[in-house]
Structure formats: structure tokens, C-alpha cells
Amino acid sequence: MTNPGMDADIYDAFMEQLHRYVRERLIPAEDQLEELGRVPDDILAEMREMGLFGVTMPEQYGGAGMNISQYVGFIREIAYASPAYRSIVSINIGMVCKSLLGFGTAAQKEHWLPKLAMGSIAAFGLTEPDSGSDSAAMKTRAVRDGNGYVLNGTKRYITNAPFADMILVMARTNAEALPKNAHVSAFLVPRDAPGVSIGKPDGKMGQAGSQIADVILEDVHVDGDALLGGEEGIGFRAAMQSLDNGRLSVAAASVGYAKRMLDAGLKYAMERKAFGEPIANFQLIQAMLADSKAEIYAADCMLNDACARADRGEKILVEAAATKMFASEMCGRVADRVVQIHGGAGYLKEYLAERFYRDCRIYRIYEGTTQIQQLVIAKNMIRDYES
């Protein structure tokens, strides 16, 4: 069924406002963000006031009700600025919102979605020290205790963990690895629940201001109503379904940031002179600019197609994987070319090209590495051929 999403005129007006906000407020605050290591409090308050934490929540829960295409357009726009701005809102409006809407009970939706729409910050707890894409290796356990559960385990590389108010935790409710990952359940765990602690934020190559850290669960007791959907065994299914959104979000972020990088590269090429003329006049510089423009356009088209399919209610597992794979790899190539266009200056912290190069490297890793996307695509091709 087609999802009409937010009223088109209201959406267009919102995006115009966001376009200005990104350039007039978020980009000028990037140096402050880098220095603080987090989004400044005044900007965070403004983002909450603008409703940026609830753009995909249905209107009945206080959100804007954007469909997938509109959500991805929003991500593309906000991702033109530092990746930290996208990171702080993306878990709310992407994976956690999708999991709650697709699998949550009515009570869970009523309790959590309005809080998230207003700016309570969510984290998504899937990855562990010895387990990422391999759910059979998951060690975090949830053991029945009366009408609730006791959780023990450690989650690693969890985006927004230091700021989170709620963590959607994947844990095994069966010691054995069951077919279709039915040993994995999902739990809505308040950050302030006794036994929950957050490790020291990890030092990273790039994306200053977006923090990741371990989430340690030590005898954390949650009531039965914390079990997503009130049903054991649906956690991995919720995670995988929400990862389609997550992959589209990373693809959109890759496109948005690639556009920023290319704009910076073009500006430098127009202003930097060699042999008495702008280096933008040199054909080999033009080739790098043109290749980058064409690849960004291709990724944009893939995003638009995948989103349109999702809004029509189609399954987009392969399309989301392909789009994320291409867009994130494209972003890395654009970053490399922009450094090259800058020449020696591109290696200096004084210029944005150096930061761009470090910031975008993670896009090829999270929400499933490029290699995982290749496996998803190929396995589905083989399955379709055999059917």
C-alpha cells in the first residue's frame, strides 16, 4: 500500500527551512562541535524544537509522519553538514521508530514514540565484542524472572550510547541458535535502569561529535512489557527490517556529504591558481569533478528508486543493500578525489578535505559492511534463480 507521508506543501516548506538551517546554523557550529565532541546543547534544543527527532513518527504520536522518500530526503539535507547532526537523530527516526511501528505493542508505541518525537535519544544495541552480523554468536542473554527478564551482556560500538535515554537491546532468550534467528528477542531498556552502564566513548578516526561506546548490562531487570511486541523470538526480524531503513539512511548520508565535499572541491578548484589560471580549467581536475558529479547522480537515482518501492509497500532488501553499498563506496571515492584536487593542502587539517576524508570512511562499515551487502545481494540473486 502506498504511503502518502507528510503533506507535500508542508514538506517542501520544511525542507526549505532545513536547507537554510543547515547552512546558516549547523555548518558554522562545526568547529564548536569538534571541540566539544558532541552537538552543542543550544543546537540540540533547536533541533528538538524543530521536531527533527520525530520526522518519521506518525502524527498521532507527535511526529511529522514522513514516508520513506521524505525521510531519506531529510537525511540527505541534514547530512550536508557534519555527520554528528544526522547521528544524533537518525537512530530515533530510523531503526528504533521502524522497530516500534512494525513490531511494538500499542502500549509500547503510546509510551515511547511521543518521547522519541520530542527528543528523547535512542540507541540501538545489536553489535557485541564477538558478534555483529552473526547472530548465532550473540552472548547477551535475557532470562525469564517472574513476569519479567534479567539481561546480562555487553554491546559494542553503540551510537549515541553516552546520550541515550532508551536502548533497544537485542538479546538471546534461548541458549540454542534457532532457525530464522528465533533465539533473539528485543527489549526496550531505559538508560537509567539499575545495572545499565555506559563505557568510555571510543576514540574514532572521524565523525567528531558523534559518540559511540559500550553498553554494559549487569543483572538488568526489566518488566515483561519491555519485550518488543510482547513476543520472544522477533528481535532479529525487527533488527533486519529496521536495517533496510538504516541502510537507506547511510546511503542518503553518503550522498549528502558527497555533495558537500564536491562543492568544496569545486570551490577550491575555482579559487586555486596554477600557471596563471584556476586549476578547474585543467582537464584532469575536470575529470575528477565530472566523475564525482556522475556518481552522486547515480546514487541519488538509486535512492529515489529504492524509496519509491518502499513507499509502495514492496520489499527492498536487495535494493537497500545495493544502494547502501554503491553510495557509501561512491562517497569514499569522492572524498579521495577532493583531497587530490586540493593537492598537498588536502592533507592538512587546516582544510575541510582532510576532515571529509576521515568522516566518510565509516559509511562503508556500519549498517553492514560493503562485503555484507555483497553477500545479501548475491544470496538473494541465487535464491531467486533457484526458485
Catalytic residues: 367
Query: Are residues 376 and 369 in contact, defined by beta-carbon separation less than 8 angstroms?
Result: no
**In whole angstroms, what is the distance from residue 246 CA to residue 386 CA?**
29
CA angle 251, 254, 257 (to 5 degrees): 150
DSSP reduced 3-state for 7: coil
Nine-digit cell at 171? 538479546
DSSP character string of 266-293: HHHHHH-EETTEEGGGSHHHHHHHHHHH
Nine-digit cell at 162? 553516552
- At position 371, the amino acid (one-letter code) is Q
CA angle 71, 171, 367 (to 5 degrees): 35
Residue with grid cell 531467486, as numbered in its chain: 384
- At position 153, the amino acid (one-letter code) is G
DSSP reduced 3-state for 296: helix
Q: Which residues of 282-293 are buried (b: 16+ CB within 10 A; e: fewer)?
A: eeebeebbeebe
**In whole angstroms, what is the distance from residue 352 CA to residue 345 CA?**
10
Specify the length of the chain in residues.
387
Residues 6+ apart with CB under 8 A from 8: none
Query: Are residues 361 and 205 in contact, defined by beta-carbon separation less than 8 angstroms?
Result: yes
The strand pairing partners of 223, in sequence order, are 148
- Upper half-sphere CA count for residue 220 (Cβ side, 13 Å): 27
Query: Are residues 229 and 301 in contact, defined by beta-carbon separation less than 8 angstroms?
Result: no
Question: Rg of the chain's alpha carbons, rounded to an integer?
Answer: 21
Measured over the CA atoms of residue 13, residue 17, residue 20 and residue 23, the dihedral's sign is negative
